[in-house]
A and B are shown apart, each in its own frame.
Chain A
Amino acid sequence: MNPNIVETINVAREVAWLPWAVQYLFLIGLSYGAWLLSLPGVVFRRPGWAGISRLALLGALVCGLAAPVALLADLHQPGRFWHFYAYFTPTSWMSWGAFFIPVYLGGLLIYAWLAFRPELARHAQSGGKLAGMAGVLAYGGHESRGALKAAALLAFIGAALVALYTGAEVAVVQARPLWNTPLLPLQFFVTAFAGAVGLVLLFNRYSVRDEAANRRLAGVLAATQAVALAVGALWLALGVSGISPVHARALAEVGPSANWQLSALWAVAATVLTLVLAWKRPGSGLLIGLLALHSAWMMRWSIFIGGQEVPKTGAGYYTYSLPLGPEGLMGIVGTAGLWVFLFVLITTLLPLDRLAAGADDNAAA
């Protein structure tokens, strides 16, 4: 900071992408990350992965269905969402995203239905809650491997496109140096995947507490944290050395801020702690799961909300305080509420314990 210049009058531009957007990126990231975790057990039938993958698919469903609602709420004219489809603009990543989301969600829903049909039929036969609905949804309860693989391909294309556009949409904004780095999409992806592992760890902890699955997931989580640290170190090295001007600009923008230094320290400490715990104490599934979810959310909050606290022309930084209404806290709480509702609804039809346990038998059947 130059002490010789003091800004006496200027405008503070308020945050225009609200906490809803953080929730969207968090949930859609968890969804595509969890969907990837569903592949080993559901599609490839890798031994020991069946329970993990089915819990992951549940997570992908719940997060994937809640995410677009948060995105819609972030629009200041939500009733005009159809304009995205009426006025396609190929130069805008957001415009492409409006088409990628239905591809992913469509693929995910078909894939999940095909994967869970036998389970839905089983629930209908058991006569549990909403058994009638489960019976209707099961539609015979047959397993169709060919269709499942085709749906997996569609969902894969959608997931890849969603991961690409959510990163690129932010990374192309030249006006915000903190966002305008080619590593940002990769950082979004790695933290999203790690968060998804954390979510499945929690599902496992609160269902069958399968220790083998817990250890397996802890191993994957440790690997994601190592990658996250490596990418972070690369980001810092590119910025400090000046090899990459965009990274140097990003670092220069936030480096002098004490708040940002604290955020960076927090992020590194949380990642290292998760890595060490996942590696040395793989049994601490609940803690490392929560840590991974926290890191995925904090990363998005810091980048999104923190990034908008940096004035583009004015001196210093804007200060953001979370409003308590729909444009702030209620947006976060509301999205969480929707997530809980969807979780309760889906796990009523597909009980968590049943998804996690006996899964290997089903896969082998």
Chain B
Amino acid sequence: MNKASQNLQGAAPVSVARRNFLRGVPVVTAAAVLAPAPAIASTGKQQWAMLIDVRKCIGCQACTVSCIQENAVPEGSFRTVVSTYSVKLTDSTQPAGTYVLPRLCNHCDNPPCIPVCPVSATYKREDGIVAVDGDRCVGCAYCVQACPYDARFINHDTGKADKCTFCAHRVDAGLLPACVETCVGGARIFGDINNSEGEFARLLKDAQPQLKVLKPELETAPRVFYIGLDERFTGKVEGQGTLWKPRSLPHA
């Protein structure tokens, strides 16, 4: 069993402590090699979730690229991306700062994409992951419309609805999602919110006062939580749109 899967089996508060220690050492690459990612899990019925510490995200898009590689996401489509904004500063000598916000499927506990699916192809797994049954999906894109986070799209290679799965195939094998594995700043933390004794639950509890989700007013109960989420970015961002955005190639 590899290191990550040991982590997922909840093998070790000791290894968690070691990682936390290493993360404190300002040799990021060494820490990344010794402890690839902050995986914290339980042995009981898991409910997977992600905690994103925006303060630690450096906007490198390593998560974006690793997700594309891991999941064979077609060119121009994205299951995750780090939205990047230039924000005018009023309390600094610098004219503007950069704000980064990793986005992905929120694996909502009350997902708007599920009831609209006309063939019940999209569903919530027992472990909380919102998934699409590719054998059943008709590619009607109703779920794409219903998702309030723009997290879904039609995959032109498959003709089916596509989205982040928390890398369910990796999680089932005891591995971490690819984006978590590759996050340079350790901003993405993946774990089980059902394990009240676990490190993930402790981190959530510690972060509680500043814990936020996207579009809380829609009551979708996202399973992706943010630390350091600026209020101006919780919903549709009021700002100037990007001049150029990647587009998927027209399908044949």
Q: Which residues of A contact B (CB under 8 A)?
A: 1-14, 16-17, 74-77, 80-81, 83-84, 86-87, 89, 91-95, 97-98, 169, 172-176, 179, 253, 308, 311-318, 323, 325, 327
The residue in chain B whose Cβ has the minimal distance to the Cβ of A179 is B145
Question: Are A315 and B241 in contact, CB atoms less than 8 angstroms apart?
Answer: yes
Question: Are B87 and A314 in contact, CB atoms less than 8 angstroms apart?
Answer: no
Once A9-B84, A314-B150 are accepted as A-B contacts, the answer to whether A1 and B239 lie under 8 Å apart by CB is: yes
A274 to chain B, nearest CB (A): 30
Listed A/B pairs (29) with beta-carbon separation below 8 Å: A1-B239, A5-B87, A5-B232, A6-B239, A6-B240, A9-B82, A10-B81, A10-B84, A11-B78, A80-B136, A83-B119, A86-B119, A89-B115, A92-B118, A173-B116, A175-B147, A176-B145, A179-B145, A312-B148, A313-B149, A314-B83, A314-B237, A314-B241, A315-B85, A315-B237, A315-B241, A316-B241, A318-B241, A327-B251
Choose from B114, B138, B160, B246 the contact partner of A11 (Cβ within 8 Å).
B246
Question: Are B140 and A75 in contact, CB atoms less than 8 angstroms apart?
Answer: yes
Question: Are B150 and A7 in contact, CB atoms less than 8 angstroms apart?
Answer: no
The residue in chain A whose Cβ has the minimal distance to the Cβ of B88 is A4
Q: Which of A76, A174, A308 has the largest count of B CB atoms less than 10 A from its CB?
A: A76
Once A91-B116, A173-B145 are accepted as A-B contacts, the answer to whether A11 and B240 lie under 8 Å apart by CB is: no
Once A5-B240, A10-B84, A10-B245 are accepted as A-B contacts, the answer to whether A313 and B235 lie under 8 Å apart by CB is: yes
| Residue B24 is within 8 A (CB to CB) of chain A in the complex | no
Chain B residues near A95 (CB, 8 Å)?
Answer: 118-119
Chain B residues near A325 (CB, 8 Å)?
Answer: 250
| Residue B137 is within 8 A (CB to CB) of chain A in the complex | yes
Question: Are A312 and B118 in contact, CB atoms less than 8 angstroms apart?
Answer: no
Q: Which residues of B contact A (CB under 8 A)?
A: 59, 61, 78, 81-88, 98-99, 103, 112, 114-121, 136-142, 144-150, 153-154, 159-160, 214, 218, 232, 235-242, 245-248, 250-251
Q: Which 5 A-B pairs have the closest CB atoms?
A: A316-B241, A76-B139, A5-B239, A12-B245, A16-B141
B220 to chain A, nearest CB (A): 9
Chain A residues near B235 (CB, 8 Å)?
Answer: 313
Question: Are B239 and A11 in contact, CB atoms less than 8 angstroms apart?
Answer: no
- Cα A5 to Cα B101 with chains together (Å): 13
Chain B residues near A89 (CB, 8 Å)?
Answer: 115, 117-120
* Dominant secondary structure at the B interface: loop
- Cα A75 to Cα B250 with chains together (Å): 16
Choose from B78, B117, B142, B245 the contact partner of A318 (Cβ within 8 Å).
B245
The residue in chain B whose Cβ has the minimal distance to the Cβ of A317 is B241
Known pairs A7-B241, A175-B147. 14 more at Cβ < 8 A? Answer: A4-B87, A6-B86, A7-B242, A87-B121, A89-B119, A92-B142, A94-B118, A176-B145, A311-B236, A311-B241, A312-B149, A315-B239, A316-B241, A317-B241
Question: Are A316 and B239 in contact, CB atoms less than 8 angstroms apart?
Answer: yes
* Dominant secondary structure at the A interface: loop
B106 to chain A, nearest CB (A): 11
Chain A residues near B247 (CB, 8 Å)?
Answer: 12, 14
A228 to chain B, nearest CB (A): 25
Chain A residues near B103 (CB, 8 Å)?
Answer: 313
A320 to chain B, nearest CB (A): 10
A315 to chain B, nearest CB (A): 4
Q: Which of A93, A172, A316 has the largest count of B CB atoms less than 10 A from its CB?
A: A316
- Cα A190 to Cα B250 with chains together (Å): 35
B73 to chain A, nearest CB (A): 11
Question: Are B245 and A11 in contact, CB atoms less than 8 angstroms apart?
Answer: yes
Q: Which of B118, B160, B214, B247 has the largest count of A CB atoms less than 10 A from its CB?
A: B118
Question: Are B118 and A313 in contact, CB atoms less than 8 angstroms apart?
Answer: no
Question: Are B141 and A315 in contact, CB atoms less than 8 angstroms apart?
Answer: no
Question: Are A8 and B84 in contact, CB atoms less than 8 angstroms apart?
Answer: yes
Chain A residues near B86 (CB, 8 Å)?
Answer: 5-6, 8
